[in-house]
Amino acid sequence: MRKEMVWLVTGFCVLLVVANLVAMNAFSVSSFPLERSQTFDPEIRTDYREAISNRKPEIIILGDSSISQLREDVITSATGKETLVFSFPGTGSAYWYLFIRNQLFLADHRSEYFILFFRDSTLTVPEYRVSGEYFVRLEEVASHWDEDVYNLAINYKKPPFTLWLEKYVPIYAYRNEIYSQFIHASRNYFPGFFAQKSEDEVSAAFVQVFEREHINDQLWEHLLLNKDSLLYTSSALDFPGSVDRSFLPAMIRDIKMMGIKPVFVRVRYRSHARGEVDSAALQNYLLKLSAFFGKENVAYMDLSTENRITESMYQDNFHIQSSSSFAASKIIAERLSEVFN
């Protein structure tokens, strides 16, 4: 029995070593212990900064999918200022700060205004949407010099044992990428093997089943609310206790350092259009956030009271439907013009 156990443990150790060596080769790991637990990979996207350099906008707008229907042409026409909109689904303050640091700052052009659309306490919750599939997205706009962002957004609440695993066990350190690649490969392999379907046919089938418009509205909103629960904890809504360990002060500092005027805009939900009132804790948070912006001499606009954006314009609680994109963009552009003047 003891001999069998020895062989079992030995076999497991050999498999573990081989798996980690394969992972190191697959992800081109050149140093050990891994830097994965300390910072991001060095590769970084450059097309966003190139778009800024080439188009030379006077207004740059950044946000998550809640501004996906915000039309550049309408904003440009209403304000008289060339506008470039970046809408990145599933992003939070860590992604936005990395964008400011590695795309906005490194571009060859400086806009007049940088406008950031945010939802509730997102600006002061650095760990919001940074793990799993969201970490892979962060890697797009981050590099190895962003160790401070990594520590604040990702390592801040990790147990020491987790940090140790990420430093010495490659298959654990690259678990998000391994998982994503496995899901993608298996998604295409099994339909191809059993039903002789091509990758394009499989992708089309997934769109038909899982795209937003094919999912029950109530189930979709329930999913979004569950994902956003982190924004409404007591610690998240404690503005004095969270602002100093967030990216917000650095955002304002860096944007101003570039000679750009920052503008922060809180988005409006369908629940606001229905007349629902924010919780007392959130209202208190927003009052302190507004006072902070005033102290920093930064423009702030809260669209939650913009009654011209009506319930019928929404696809769900967070997103404007495409048929209302022109009308909603025109209203928002008018409000922005007030800030500019």
Residue ranges of domains in the chain: 47-127+217-340
Q: DSSP strand E in the chain: where? A: 59-63, 83-87, 113-118, 261-266, 299-302
Residues in the chain, pLDDT under 50: 214, 216, 218-223, 225
User: What digits encode the pLDDT tens for the residues 133-173?
Assistant: 788 888 899 988 898 998 888 877 777 777 777 778 888 77
pTM exceeding 0.85: no
Where do runs of H (alpha helix) occur along 40-132? 47-55, 72-79, 93-99
User: What pLDDT is recorded for position 245?
Assistant: 93
Dist CA 147 CA 133 (whole Å): 20
| In this structure, CATH architecture of domain 47-127+217-340 | 3-Layer(aba) Sandwich (3.40)
Taking every pair of Cα atoms in the chain, the longest distance, rounded to a whole number of angstroms, is 82
User: What pLDDT is recorded for position 181?
Assistant: 78
| Cβ-count burial 189-206 (b if 16+ within 10 Å, e if not) | eebeeeeebeeeebeeee
User: What pLDDT is recorded for position 63?
Assistant: 97
> Can you read off the two tokens belonging to residue 215?
């999912």
User: What pLDDT is recorded for position 221?
Assistant: 46
Contact partners, residue 89, CB within 8 Å, separation at least 6: 64, 65, 68
- Amino acid identity, position 74: V
User: What pLDDT is recorded for position 35?
Assistant: 66
Angle at 214 between CA 210 and CA 218, to 5 degrees: 100
User: What pLDDT is recorded for position 209?
Assistant: 63
Dist CA 245 CA 253 (whole Å): 14
Give 82's DSSP letter.
-
User: What pLDDT is recorded for position 160?
Assistant: 77
Dist CA 16 CA 171 (whole Å): 9
User: What digits encode the pLDDT tens for the residues 216-237?
Assistant: 454 444 445 455 788 999 999 9
